[in-house]
Amino acid sequence: MYADLVHATSLRNGVYVSVDNTFESQLEQDQVAVQDGLQLIEFAPQQRPLIEEVLEGLTAKEKSLPAKLHYDQRGSMLFEQICDVDEYYITRTELALMREISGAIGDTLGKGCMLIEPGSGASLKTDLLLSAMPNPAAYVPVDISRDFLLESATAIADRHDIEVLPVWADFTKGHPIPSCEAVVRNRAIYFPGSTVGNFSRSDAACLLQNFASMIRDDSDDEQIGSEGAVVVGFDCKKDTSRMEAAYNDSEGVTAEFNYNVIDRLAQELRVSLDREKFTFRADWVEDEGAIVSRLWVDESHTVEMAGEKVRFEAGEAIRMEESHKYTPEEFETLAQQSHLGMERIWTDDAGDFAVAYLRPLSV
């Protein structure tokens, strides 16, 4: 284990720079590479064999599969289609809200801010915020997918006059924060898209606590000045029928997004999983405060995987993904549990989506 500080050095523009990690993490792979003209911090964790994760989930008392399995090439394409279906209000509502408030967020962040985006994307929302920030110090995208990270980082670098420092890492774990050439007055985390809703409430609290650690001013980095902020989007609780319709679209794109996981496992693991034996449905679960997406087993059958027999009983379900919803008051409580205070919150006129501006609480 490495606590307090992890160092690496690299040559950038003839000057050696340091990479600092200001919170505890496990160093699994840490090196600096130059790719497509960008300095890339490589901190990717060792991945468990896919078959181990799948067997663990499918042999549990309540069957489940890791949500990350959705995002192969076809799955990522399907998710882009989901964002465009009529019932899925989240993306267009957040984008419209960011068009209205990005200027206010940028002014509040102030000059010399290093913007860190976990689970990065070269999206219009990121463009809006970067364009609204006065003289930002750097943009630090963080993603577990190396190819996607480089593609999105290059796109941002092409569109903005800003130093872009991509970090290839699992943002749910500790990872390095690169130093940049400009003076950094504060750090800010930008976590849009209601991604926080894909974590259970306890995991979301831990994630926000990690974010709070990353932006505090008690690090050894002499560049950092005042305490930073966490800007996070979340989907608000609303009429159950609207929430369920967003994940059970009439075109069946979300269903296909989940069936694609079965197809992917059948092909990559060479097992006889058959999508025709499952039915997709997403339901609101009041006790969890979440939409839970499941594949329900239509007929009992057994599948052999890596020498083990996995039994699927008719009527049982595979938990595929969850999307937690919050009232503004519930999210403020979650933030406080993570040592963050809600300084400001913006919502659209209908109160469907919210963007919260969080600051570290005094400890």
Q: What is the pLDDT of residues 283-329, one digit of tens each?
A: 999 999 999 999 999 999 999 998 999 999 999 999 999 999 999 99
Domain shared by 109 and 258, yes or no: no
Cα–Cα distance for residue pair 144/267, rounded to 1 Å: 22
- Has residue 291 been placed in a domain? yes
Domain shared by 185 and 103, yes or no: yes
CATH number at residue 197: 3.40.50.150
Say if CB 200 and CB 292 are below 8 A apart.
no
Residue 121 has a pLDDT of: 63
Q: What is the largest CA-CA distance in the chain?
A: 64
Residue 174 has a pLDDT of: 77
Write out residues in the chain with pLDDT < 50, as ranges: 1-29, 218-220
Domain shared by 331 and 199, yes or no: yes
Cα–Cα distance for residue pair 360/363, rounded to 1 Å: 9
Residue 19 has a pLDDT of: 33
Q: What is the pTM of this model?
A: 0.85
Three-class DSSP category at 162:
coil
- Has residue 305 been placed in a domain? yes
Domain shared by 345 and 262, yes or no: no
Domain shared by 218 and 292, yes or no: no
Domain shared by 110 and 154, yes or no: yes
- Has residue 58 been placed in a domain? no
Pick from 194, 191, 206: nearest CA to 321 = 194
Domain shared by 267 and 254, yes or no: yes
Domain shared by 228 and 146, yes or no: yes
Say if CB 309 and CB 286 are below 8 A apart.
no
Pick from 208, 205, 165: nearest CA to 184 = 165
Cα–Cα distance for residue pair 120/127, rounded to 1 Å: 12
Tell me 199's DSSP state. S
- Has residue 56 been placed in a domain? no
Residue 15 has a pLDDT of: 27
Cα–Cα distance for residue pair 123/326, rounded to 1 Å: 24
The structural domain count of the chain equals 2
Residue 252 has a pLDDT of: 97
Beta strands 38-42 and 278-285, pairing class: unpaired
Cα–Cα distance for residue pair 274/294, rounded to 1 Å: 15
Domain limits at 224?
9-31+89-237+327-360
Residue 20 has a pLDDT of: 36
Pick from 326, 309, 341: nearest CA to 234 = 326
Domain shared by 103 and 194, yes or no: yes
Tell me 361's DSSP state. P
Rg over alpha carbons for the chain, rounded to the nearest Å, is 21
**Residue 6: both structure tokens together:** 């992890």
Cα–Cα distance for residue pair 22/177, rounded to 1 Å: 8
Three-class DSSP category at 238:
coil
Residue 224 has a pLDDT of: 52
Domain shared by 227 and 253, yes or no: no
- Has residue 311 been placed in a domain? yes
- Has residue 195 been placed in a domain? yes
- Has residue 48 been placed in a domain? no
Domain shared by 111 and 198, yes or no: yes
Domain shared by 139 and 272, yes or no: no
- Has residue 55 been placed in a domain? no
Residue 14 has a pLDDT of: 26
